[in-house]
A and B are shown apart, each in its own frame.
Chain A
Amino acid sequence: MLLCVMLTASVGDTFLSHGMSQVGKVDMHHLGLLFVALKNVWVISGIVLLIGFFASYLSALSWADLTFVMPATAFGYVIVALLSRFWLHEHLSIWRCLGIGMIVCAVGFVANGPSRTEHTLEVMDSGVGR
């Protein structure tokens, strides 16, 4: 599920970026271009993926803590950076590589811990208690 959150958000954003680069610059005098954008296959695919992201994000929050899901979603930044490097052929500086390393470490930290805080009341309700 978390993999789904990471992939749909990052690939969705990249698709939107690619689609909007094909549509062109939208400003106050050319707002009609936004409707043209809705006919672009990359923009449509991006919107579908971002809807999928929100659904999987909500599903993840229904069984895991916010502070567990947060760093996992941040891993999407890493995927966006890698996609922009290898698909959009953008420059990936040493600073960005370091940033990727930091986020990977952060995901590693929380992935090794419990995904959900069990509150005392809930534990007592379940009959286990302290």
Chain B
Amino acid sequence: MIANASLHAWFAIFGVAALAVMGEVLTAGAMRRIGDLDDIRAVSGLPGAIKAVLSSPMFVTGALAMALNFFMMLYALSLADVSLVAPATASLTYIGNAIAAKLFLRENVDRRRWLAAVFVVIGVALLAH
């Protein structure tokens, strides 16, 4: 029974991380397609920049994933302690983002960036200690 509850909690934690990665990668992809917001703001003003962001289907999908991530986080917190959920989701999200950014955004995730992601994961785990 306890193992089953623990399995549910980890399922929810992986769900939170997957939705966070999906949201952040889609948002980053949308911002890359839209272009530098400072340049858009210089030409079309702040309303133009806001319109450019909100009219991107990729951004809207990413924002939706982030909203779902919030509710999944609440679900995860109802199953396990925040001292487990917060560092576990943060760590999985950082590693997942690095992998997804390399695969889907074709970012140059070199040794330096991998090392940074691993250091952040360890750092977050230590902060939650």
Contact = CB atoms under 8 A, between A and B. Distances in A.
A77 B116 contact: no
Contacts of A112: 112
A102 interface: yes
B101 A106 contact: no
A101 B119 CA distance: 9
A101 B122 CA distance: 10
Contacts of A69: 28
A95 B129 contact: yes
Nearest to B108: A117
B107 A109 contact: no
A58 B107 CA distance: 17
B123 A77 contact: yes
B127 interface: yes
B106 A77 contact: no
Interface in B32-87: 32, 34-38, 53
Interface residues of A, number: 34
Given A106-B116, A109-B112, A117-B108, A66 B24 contact: yes
Q: Does more than half of chain A's interface fall in helix, strand or loop, or is it mixed?
A: helix
Contacts of A74: 94, 120, 123-124
B36 A106 contact: no
Given A67-B97, A117-B106, A103 B24 contact: no
Contacts, number: 117
A61 B124 CA distance: 22
Contacts of A68: 113
B37 A77 contact: no
User: Which among A69, A74, A107, A119 has the greatest number of chain B C-beta atoms within 10 A?
Assistant: A74
A109 B115 contact: yes
A99 B123 contact: yes
Contact of B107 (A67, A93, A100): A67
B1 interface: no
Interface string A45-75: 0000000000000110111011111110010
Interface of A: 58-59, 61-63, 65-71, 74, 77, 81, 93, 95-96, 98-103, 105-107, 109-110, 112-114, 117, 119
